[in-house]
Amino acid sequence: MDVPQAILGEEINKETESLYKKEKKLGEGTYAVVYLGHHIKTKRKVGIKKIKLGNMRSGLDMSAIREVKALRELRHPNVIELIDVFSHKTNLNLVLEFLDTDLENVIKDKSLVFMPADIKSWMMMALRGLDHCHRCWLLHRDLKPNNFLIASDGQLKLADFGLAREFGDVKRAMTSQTVTRWYRAPELLLGATNYTGSIDIWAMGCVFAELLLRVPYLSGESDLEQLTTIFKARGTPTEDDWPGLSKLPMGFKFEKHPRPAFAELFHGASDDALDLMNRMLTYNPVARITAAEALQHPYFRNSPRPTQPAKLPRPKQEYVAEEEGLDSDGARRKRHYNDAFGDDVFSDGKGDSAVAHREGSGHSRDQDAQPTAKRMDLRISSPA
């Protein structure tokens, strides 16, 4: 480097900022405002997440730092892409891949019918993304359906890494107050401060169940009730199920519930699906299946084959972002944008014109359907 590099950082920052144009506000939470924008030259649609500067007491928001740190390390088709970061005055702006909808909307849209192959496809993509995180020694710590965003080509992507952090250092305690309650693993509810990727797997198991049931599986009203809800649904664990149970910080005295027959509740689910779900919702965190093991589970090998992402069901109705509320923890982000749900989303033969478009411009309605479907084949294992 020949020239003195004074204020280079700021120049780069300005340059980055000038690359993008904000179009409209998509939603607002306590921690961030999300805008729809585009890259001025390539016209690629992006989501710009403007992090509000927290209270002046502690400076830059911890979630923003976590999210930037995590996403810059992760590169995977099933993890949302962080395209750029820039700051404007004291605000941080994260330029993220624009994604049309999320799994929660898909689950809630009762006009959609899920085939077992569809659920398998979503689970496979979600587990691949999660496996990648865990391989990079990152815990997501807030998995739930509305943090699985869905691209216009049907790809499911893990998003919202505001709670993500590294794990692996056994000496360092981590908070047990993490993960949205319904998806929180029992060891967290019992106050564990040393945990691993197994907490993400529990959440993933809950999402799996939710895909089968179409309603949240374990929906407790409070932290304590959450445990009771889990025990009623899954049977109260014993020291046999979960060695070391009585040593957890919060002690253990609960009403004994028998382990119910799951096949009744999940009557539509195949045996291999139920087996995988039960392995993900195993009480003992050490015995719980890992993301890598889950991907090797017979469920993914047995028929039916997972649906190709582009052919997965997706909500047809138009979402108007501003009216969609955001819940108090600010974790929900709404990125729905009418344009992405054109009538022709599902039509197949868009032909070569769409291919020509794709190079420059990320996701837009022109490029849905077939070309993407060709590109994607779920049966090819991911490089990660």
Residues that bind other proteins in the complex, under the rule CB under 8 A: 1-2, 4-10, 12-14, 16-17, 56-60, 62, 65, 68-69, 72-73, 83-90, 92, 165-166, 172
Q: Answer yes or no: is 33 a known binding residue.
A: yes
Whole-angstrom Cα distance, residue 136 to residue 6? 34
Task: Kindly give the interhelix angle for 198-213 and 116-135, rounded to the nearest 10 degrees.
Answer: 170
CA-angle at 64, arms to 61 and 65, nearest 5°: 90
Catalytic residue of the set 118, 131, 142, 368: 142
Min. distance of Cβ 216 from other proteins in angstroms?
30
Min. distance of Cβ 77 from other proteins in angstroms?
17
- Of 193 and 228, the one with the shorter C-beta distance to other proteins is 193
Min. distance of Cβ 67 from other proteins in angstroms?
11
- Of 14 and 374, the one with the shorter C-beta distance to other proteins is 14
- Of 59 and 325, the one with the shorter C-beta distance to other proteins is 59
- Residue corresponding to tokens 């009585």: 246
- Of 173 and 320, the one with the shorter C-beta distance to other proteins is 173
- Of 75 and 379, the one with the shorter C-beta distance to other proteins is 75
Q: Answer yes or no: is 29 a known binding residue.
A: yes
Q: Answer yes or no: is 256 a known binding residue.
A: no
Min. distance of Cβ 297 from other proteins in angstroms?
32
Q: Answer yes or no: is 175 a known binding residue.
A: no
Q: Answer yes or no: is 26 a known binding residue.
A: yes
- Of 139 and 207, the one with the shorter C-beta distance to other proteins is 139
- Of 139 and 276, the one with the shorter C-beta distance to other proteins is 139
Min. distance of Cβ 229 from other proteins in angstroms?
30
Q: Confirm whether 142 is a catalytic residue.
A: yes
Q: Answer yes or no: is 85 a known binding residue.
A: no
Whole-angstrom Cα distance, residue 264 to residue 158? 31
Q: Answer yes or no: is 170 a known binding residue.
A: no
Q: Answer yes or no: is 251 a known binding residue.
A: no
Q: What is the SS3 assignment for the chain?
A: CCCCCCCHHHHHHHHHHHHEEEEEEEEECCCEEEEEEEECCCCCEEEEEEECCCCCCCCCCHHHHHHHHHHHHCCCCCECCEEEEEEECCEEEEEEECCCEEHHHHHHCCCCCCCHHHHHHHHHHHHHHHHHHHHCCEECCCCCHHHEEECCCCCEEECCCCCCEECCCCCCCCCCCCCCHHHCCHHHHCCCCCCCCHHHHHHHHHHHHHHHHCCCCCCCCCHHHHHHHHHHHHCCCCCCCCCCHHHCCCCCCCCCCCCCCHHHHCCCCCHHHHHHHHHHCCCCCCCCCCHHHHHCCHHHHCCCCCCCHHHCCCCCCCCCHHHCCCCCCCCCCCCCCHHHHCHHHHCCCCCHHHHHHHCCCCCCHHHCCHHHHHHCCCCCCCCC
Torsion angles phi and psi, residue 363, rounded to 5: -105, 120
Min. distance of Cβ 193 from other proteins in angstroms?
13
Min. distance of Cβ 65 from other proteins in angstroms?
5
Whole-angstrom Cα distance, residue 184 to residue 190? 10
Residues with catalytic function: 142
The annotation places the binding site for ATP at 26-34, 49
The annotation places the binding site at 26-34, 49
